[in-house]
Structure 1
């Protein structure tokens, strides 16, 4: 997570440097006016509104050390959606109050406010109803469980039920290790439902929402020059056969000789995921456990790719699909548990 701190005064600049020291390993840039700038800061060389626009989507958290009114006027034109906006914090020059102003849940501003308040000895100011009432919003639950949300509109409606102390049932395929409020139940009647699963669901009720865990690893092997379209078609077919939602993909995994295989990386971009590269020496240590191909071994030095690569980049879980060929592409699918 990367932060920016924006301030316009001498006192604010001094406080920004203190924040940077206290947050330690967090990547943090300090922006201030030229007259307060030094080697630890970056000069604001535009009017404030224009400057904010130039950095708004470059940081996860933006902390403003200035009056809240200035911040509201400066960021208003750049606010788009809670799923994409950065977390916005506002703090006074003394570090007494750290206000979570925007994107408290998905943007992480509430959590950042509490973190900074704890480090600096200030008071976090959080106004989201679920937090102040000791409840939990659907988007917060999704963040805690590292899940995607099927519908933000439905998530808002289900959160409204939770905040108003209406019973909401939760049905989960994964373990939930966080404390849930009393009105989120696992059985009995409820006015809304939260489904937590990587399966494809057809949700057509406004008070139902699906949280999709990122727990699917795709092991991939392919011929040189295989197109991204072919890889995407193969993955789509494989996932459909298992009734798995593609938004549950955690990462791709492939062998080091494929680290420049354009088709694999373009397919990863399509699914908004990353590619993990596994060395052949690592594969050799476990390849005897998998179906091997002598043709592949002669070509790249190991006899198996998609299965060992998936397993070696996983933590705990099992194969949902062992090695399967799709016309020059081999896939395996691993589910983390």
Structure 2
């Protein structure tokens, strides 16, 4: 087990259940009060959780620890049966030493109280992400940078439609979002070259980029995923419905509309992946790859309030 999914409620169980097959070696743990009949549950034995994986100390020395969370390259497995627990404090104590990532659908206060006696350091603790049961926010709570929780929060957000919340200081200083559109099968090296060229023309360093962004119809695009991994920058996929409903101003493309039934990809993705965004560079095209740059952090009076 590399990822534990933990919840106290029926709503949380329904939110987390689809993630069991889409996060690395994920197992679902639900409180004994959960009665959702669509989720088959068995009693949980806390002791077996410790025997299920290598000790936490071994995880720290595993060179693939952070990569597994950030890239999600492990093969996805079938959703397992959920396991019941009675006390979240006891469950957390049994899971923390053996998991690389924990995703809770629960109040932050409850999770913090469960974690507090167990926390060691940002170099030792696993990634912890907290979702509200409404699926609106995915909060990177613990070990954001070193442990990979920032990237895990973005991945969970991509899978659930939540908004990722990252408060790490080094990430907050980054304010540029790179929107990308590309044809199916575009190789990563061409995407990377287009990103670098656009940034260079705009006088922006790669270190200023917080996110790459595209539409969710591109979520399985191998070249995009490889480009994000190579550049070391998380990629956010914006729901097609959000792009269609957005009131933000961006260029429309008949070609894109015909191919993927969207008005555009690069420009709306750049605007919608962040908060209080404004264009730095409108869409540019490089051999079938479109790149747009936006910067976030402007006051509402300087950006468009509707549709982010």
Larger Rg belongs to = 1
Higher relative contact order (CA 8 A, sep 6+): 2
